[in-house]
Structure 1
Amino acid sequence: MIGVRLSAWTCGLAALVVYNTAYFAEILRGAWAHMPREQEEAGRAYGYYGLGLYGRIILPQILIASGPVLGNQMITLVKNSAFLMMITIPDLTSLANLVQATYYIPFETLFVTVALYWVICSAIEGIVRAMDRVAVVRGHE
């Protein structure tokens, strides 16, 4: 109605960002609420304020504490990207369907698609496991 025209790719990206940002924000907010206030007070005592305090002291602890939940949400984001096919954005699944329709090889394309999704999700899981090892070293459980 206001004359703004966006491509399907821009609309899909905006939808995924808006939808998942709410989840990521709530995850980080919950981790921040669970963190003891003494951490912030100690940072201020050492002379950290503003972005330095949150970027150097608070945010790393929040990311380590919420690592597994953030990893689960990232995997959900990868899975939700398949919904972009509904608005004609070619994702991994729709490209597999295109190859299947062109070359008539249904099993192979399905197998490769599943393998690629598995690799992407396994990479995210590996990053979460590495974050957990860092958390154990730093005393978080």
Structure 2
Amino acid sequence: MDSLPQLLLATAKITLPLSAIAFVLAILIGIISQVFRSNKFRPLAWLANVYVWLFRGTPLLVQLFLVFYGLPRVGITLDPWTSAIIALSLNTGAYVAETFRSAVASIPRGQFEAARTLNFTKMQTLRHVIIPQAVRIALPPLGNDLIDLIKGTSLVSTISLVDLFQSGKQVAAANFEPLAMYLEVAAIYLVIFTVLSWLQSLLEKRSNRYMRSVHA
């Protein structure tokens, strides 16, 4: 347990901030991608679809290597932190875009028609009808996307970032106790997962109460 402070420090300095920044960017990327995918201007829709297809269809590890080791070959050199944020946010953004697409697609067409009969503008329809329902539907998969992102940060050790996993590797190499070390690392990931799962459940309950109050 002497190594616990070092592991927690790596979690607080690298793993959690990296996950938070990448997830916020992924949400923005996902929203923009979904707007482009539903755009009637076909080149934009095509580009967004290719982006989602590419980043969902290739491993995160490959994407990290392309950003950190590949881009310098074309004159773009990035530090490990920036490379990790770019790769993680683009990877998760593709999944977030698909989450938003499926959430909007699951809303019955009658909701759009009802808004039209009430003379709602497109923005009013989005604000009062579509977005509240889509957010409620998207909350569980978005929570899963965040959890997957946090677990995916363990791969940034391959580009020399000393995150929670890399810190555990270093301690294991020093004390020759890999089993104990990796159990500690797993325990910290499990604690993060448990807290996030609890928060996700809380948000879903609040969202359901809000929707019931709106329709009451």
TM-score range, shorter chain: 0.7 to 0.9
For structure 1, the residue ranges without an aligned partner over 5 or more in a row are none
Superposition TM-score, scaled by structure 1 size: 0.78
Whether 1:116 and 2:193 are equivalent positions in the alignment is no
Which residue number in structure 1 is paired with residue 115 of structure 2? 42
Residues 63-122 of structure 1, C-alpha deviation per residue, up to 9 Å, x if partnerless? 211222222222111111111111111211101112233344545433331221011111
Instruction: Say which of 151, 155, 164 aligns to 1:83.
Output: 155
Sequence identity of aligned pairs in percent? 27
Q: Quote the RMSD (CA, aligned, Å).
A: 2.9
Q: Is the 8 A contact 2:115 2:129 kept in 1?
A: no
Change (3 A) 1:103 1:48: farther
Change (3 A) 1:56 1:87: farther
For structure 2, the residue ranges without an aligned partner over 5 or more in a row are 1-72
Q: How many residues of Structure 1 are paired with residues of Structure 2 in the alignment?
A: 139
The 5-angstrom pairing of residues 13-92 of structure 1 reads 13-40=85-112, 42=115, 45=118, 50=123, 54-55=126-127, 57-92=129-164
CA distance in 2 between partners of 1:26 and 1:2 (Å): 30
Superposition TM-score, scaled by structure 2 size: 0.54
Change (3 A) 1:46 1:99: farther
The structure where helix makes up a greater share of residues is: 2
Q: Is the 8 A contact 2:103 2:134 kept in 1?
A: yes
